[in-house]
């Protein structure tokens, strides 16, 4: 029976390890990931959001400092500024009330911002309730 040579075995192992590292990296996300969103309609065209963020907070110069609700075209519909790090509270949930959504928009995107990394984390696409 022919057995692959040492070089072939090494190549196969290297490819598998590279694939595993790539898959793990994409699963990890960024410095501030939106991991859950609950949304309620509070009035016609107005919605309230509870947004859960998991972030790498390391003090006042390195923390999740905002999240936004965006229309499908990228227009910012609502923004909540986060005023302090959440080093010991991960993930954490904060609300944003009274977001006006234009007629005809039935989905929004929610993203979190990290100081100093910016918008590098996972986002969630959210269907609005009727």
78 near 105, Cβ under 8 Å? Answer: no
- pLDDT per residue as tens digits for the range 29-79: 789 999 999 999 999 999 999 999 999 889 898 999 999 999 999 999 999
- pLDDT per residue as tens digits for the range 86-101: 888 899 999 999 999 9
This prediction has a pTM of 0.76
Write the DSSP assignment of 90-103 as a string of letters: -SEEEEEEEEE--T
Give the range among 5-9, 23-27, 113-117 with minimum mean pLDDT: 23-27
């Amino acid at each position: 029976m022919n057995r692959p040579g040492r070089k072939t075995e090494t190549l196969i192992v290297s490819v598998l390890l590279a694939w595993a590292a790539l898959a793990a990296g994409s699963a990890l996300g960024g410095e501030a990931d939106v991991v859950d969103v609950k949304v309620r309609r509070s009035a016609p065209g107005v919605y309230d959001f509870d947004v859960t963020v998991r972030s790498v907070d390391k003090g006042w110069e390195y923390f999740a400092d905002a999240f936004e609700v965006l229309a499908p075209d990228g227009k910012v519909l609502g923004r909540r500024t986060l005023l302090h790090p959440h080093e010991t509270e991960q993930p954490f949930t904060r609300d944003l009330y009274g977001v006006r959504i234009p007629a005809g928009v039935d989905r929004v995107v929610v993203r979190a911002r990290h100081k100093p990394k910016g918008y590098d984390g996972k986002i969630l696409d959210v269907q609005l309730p009727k």
